[in-house]
Amino acid sequence: MDDKRNLSSKVAIVTGGSRGIGRAVVLKLAERGAKVVVNYRSNATAAAEVMAAIKARDGEGLVQATDISQPQEVAKLVETALTSYGKIDILVNNAGITRDGLILRLSEGDWDEVLATNLKGAFLCTKAVLRPMIRQRWGRIVNIASVVGIIGNAGQANYAAAKAGLIGLTRATAREVASRGITVNAIAPGFIKTEMTQSLSEAQRQELLKQIPFGYFGSPEDVAATVAFLSSEEAAYITGQVLNIDGGMVMA
């Protein structure tokens, strides 16, 4: 493996790492050699399956149940990583939830819950890892946003607002920490083959496919490969950017 792609000396935290895109990211970083701390909120079975998959690939890591919207739990997550491995090199802010509904019917609770996990959680995790990254003068932060945060989507005002906020957080943080050797970038996936798209009706799928020039949904591995790239030395001169992985759905 090219030395610039090799992550064998790195320690990564991936939030929401037990399913979907997060799971693919965890496995890709482990494949590249990183030790991975897998955060999950409630699905211990899925987290254990991810850890078994890491070990089956001769990788190393651990799982940690954390509600990333709670500062004290985020502090424990970071402390666990530092105690276990002595440093943190990579943070992937992937954890996210949806509580969809048209804005006239959207409850304040559903607004708050989505913003708390999808945006506040990323802020808390970013803040918590920056001190160790600044001390070592090296770090990679990759935020999983969404094309919805760029173009909006009816019925997802809370989710779109959180993902747009995540893009703003990415750029502001990138400017603050660039001088310390830390890059901060975002990925905006389009429609990816996950539990969400699997639940769509055939009519809904066909309508969405019309919006994608490639004519098919992406895979979690498509996103994971880009995360691995942005986490490596290959991407050392890239920061504050938003990379769309959407089959050409959004071109700006």
Residue 141 pairs in a beta bridge with 91, 184
How many angstroms separate the CA atoms of 10 and 6, rounded? 9
| 189 within 8 A of 144, measured Cβ to Cβ | yes
Whether residue 85 lies in the annotated active site:
no
What whole-number distance in Å separates Cα of residue 76 and Cα of residue 81? 9
Q: Look-up: residue for tokens 């496919």?
A: 209
Whose structure tokens read 């919805």? 148
Strand runs labelled E in 26-120: 35-40, 60-65, 90-93
β-pairing verdict for 35-40 and 60-65? parallel
Determine how β-strand 90-93 pairs with β-strand 139-144. Answer: parallel
Contact 1, 32 (CB under 8 A): yes
Six-digit token string for 119? 């945006």
Among 85, 159, 216, 237, the active-site one is 159
Angle of helix 157-177 relative to helix 108-115, nearest 10 degrees, comes to: 30
Helices and strands (DSSP H and E) totals, the chain: 10, 7
Using the Cα atoms of residue 168, residue 241, residue 24 and residue 190 in order, give the sign of their dihedral.
positive
Q: Which residues are catalytic?
A: 159
